[in-house]
Amino acid sequence: MDDFLSRLTHIIGDKKPFAWAAGVGINKATFSRIWNEGVPPKANHLAAIAQSTGISIDWLLTGEGPERRDQVSASGLTEEEATLLEIYNDLSDDYKDELITSLKALIDLDQDSKKKRVVLLEKLRKGAG
pLDDT for res 14: 95
Q: According to the model, what pLDDT value does residue 18 have?
A: 96
What pLDDT is stored for residue 128 in this prediction? Answer: 64
Higher local confidence (pLDDT), 19 or 67: 19
pLDDT at 42 over 90: yes
Distance in angstroms (rounded) separating the CA atoms of residues 127 and 108: 28
Residue 65 class from Cβ within 10 Å (0-12 exposed, 13-18 middle, 19+ buried)?
A: middle
The reported pLDDT for the residue numbered 46 is 93
Percent of the chain with pLDDT over 70: 94
The per-residue pLDDT for range 50-77, each reduced to its tens digit, is 999 989 898 999 988 888 877 666 567 7
Mean pLDDT confidence for 18-39 = 94
Quote the CA–CA distance of 78 and 72 in Å, as a whole number: 5
The pLDDT, as a whole number, for residue 84 is 84
Separation of alpha carbons 72 and 106, rounded Å:
27
Q: Return the pLDDT at 72.
A: 61
Compute the mean pLDDT over every residue in the chain, rounded to the nearest whole number: 87
| pLDDT, tens digit (0-9, with 9 covering 90-100), for 88-98 | 888 898 898 99
